[in-house]
């Protein structure tokens, strides 16, 4: 009897709009792997029972998304150092009976910059990060890990930036005091939801940025946010959020299906088309 095909899933509530099935489905198909990846809508009160039953149900692991990331970190038997540090897990897999967890958004963020703006970290000087929400923590952690001399968080609610800075090695600046930092920044990153379709603009004066500053916006709907459009108009190198979404998926796929997939232009086009369709 042949072994059952490995199954994976994205566990969230709600989960209907997740693009992970599209990404992993593409890799399964292009690599001819007999596996599957599905959406698992799981209410918060059912998360623990769902995870308890995963192995018997044939899952080799899965992604975990809002609102379960902290619960997944608490539930895992073994965590990577970064998942432990951040108290958050977006990828789980079984090593025998042991449920292992990692948080891969920081890897995705770095992977996109490495692929789309090679040499972006040549200076490893100052990174200025806007936002202190769920997405900011792994990004700040990744930039510190990459060796940036100074990572500074600017957020509307300064107490949230301070709470993050208490956990990670970074500084905090108020949004209205950010101007002097702009001319020294090697990298400017938007992790706020400002810039999402219909949600306005960070209104930064990009004239202060050096010509070699790289501007990254992790928002991926729209593909080009007002911030990226202004940066590109000034001739700066820019990186959008789609690459991070695609690269964060790589470690999970390799844990579950045994090969490291690539983020290719064809995959990017597929997901771009899905976003453009408004699905």
Binding site for ligand NAP (CB under 6 A): 105, 108, 131-136, 155-157, 160, 191-194, 196, 218-220, 241, 244-245, 248
47 versus 220: smaller Cβ distance to ligand NAP: 220
Closest CA to 23 of 272, 271, 277, 273: 271
Residue nearest ligand NAP (C-beta atom): 133
Contact 31, 60 (CB under 8 A): no
The least CB distance from residue 159 to ligand NAP, in Å, is 8
Contact 189, 216 (CB under 8 A): yes
Asked about 69 being catalytic, the answer comes back as yes
The least CB distance from residue 220 to ligand NAP, in Å, is 5
Closest CA to 90 of 218, 243, 246, 248: 248
Contact 194, 169 (CB under 8 A): no
The least CB distance from residue 108 to ligand NAP, in Å, is 6
Provide φ and ψ at 58, rounded to 5°: 95, 5
The least CB distance from residue 68 to ligand NAP, in Å, is 13
The least CB distance from residue 191 to ligand NAP, in Å, is 6
Catalytic residue among 69, 124, 160, 167: 69
6 versus 108: smaller Cβ distance to ligand NAP: 108
Structure token digits, residue 2: 């042949």
In angstroms, the Cα distances linking 145 to 54, 138, 264 are: 33, 10, 26
Reduced to 3 states (helix: H, G, I; strand: E, B; else coil), residue 142 is helix
As a whole number of angstroms, the distance between CA 61 and CA 94 comes to 6
Is the bond leading into 67 cis (omega within 30 degrees of zero)?
yes
213 versus 248: smaller Cβ distance to ligand NAP: 248
CB atoms within 10 A of CB 173: 17
101 versus 131: smaller Cβ distance to ligand NAP: 131
Reduced to 3 states (helix: H, G, I; strand: E, B; else coil), residue 190 is strand
8 versus 155: smaller Cβ distance to ligand NAP: 155
Q: Which residues belong to the active site?
A: 69
């Amino acid at each position: 009897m042949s072994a059952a095909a490995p199954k994976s899933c994205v566990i969230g509530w709600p989960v209907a709009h997740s693009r992970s099935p599209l990404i992993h489905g593409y890799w399964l198909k292009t690599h001819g792997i007999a596996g599957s990846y599905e959406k698992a809508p799981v209410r918060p009160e059912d998360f623990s029972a769902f995870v308890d039953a995963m192995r018997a149900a044939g899952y080799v692991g899965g992604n975990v998304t809002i609102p379960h990331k902290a619960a997944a970190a608490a539930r895992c038997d073994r965590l990577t150092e970064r998942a432990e540090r951040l108290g958050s897990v977006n990828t789980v897999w079984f090593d025998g009976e042991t449920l292992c967890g990692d948080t891969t958004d920081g890897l995705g963020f770095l992977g996109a910059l490495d692929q789309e703006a090679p040499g972006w970290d040549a200076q490893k000087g100052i990174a200025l990060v806007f936002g202190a929400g769920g997405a900011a923590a792994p990004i700040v952690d990744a930039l510190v890990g990459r060796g940036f001399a100074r990572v500074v968080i600017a957020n509307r609610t300064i107490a949230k930036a301070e709470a993050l800075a208490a956990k990670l090695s970074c500084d905090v600046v108020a949004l209205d005091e950010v101007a002097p930092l702009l001319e020294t920044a090697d990298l400017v990153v938007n992790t706020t939801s400002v810039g999402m379709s219909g949600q306005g603009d960070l209104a930064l004066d990009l004239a202060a940025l050096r010509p070699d500053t790289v501007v990254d916006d992790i928002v991926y709907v729209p593909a080009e946010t007002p911030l990226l459009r202004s940066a590109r108009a000034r001739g700066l190198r820019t990186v959008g959020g789609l690459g991070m979404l695609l690269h964060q998926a790589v470690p999970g796929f390799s844990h579950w299906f045994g090969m490291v997939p690539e983020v290719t232009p064809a995959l990017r086009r597929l997901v771009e088309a899905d976003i453009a369709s408004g699905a």
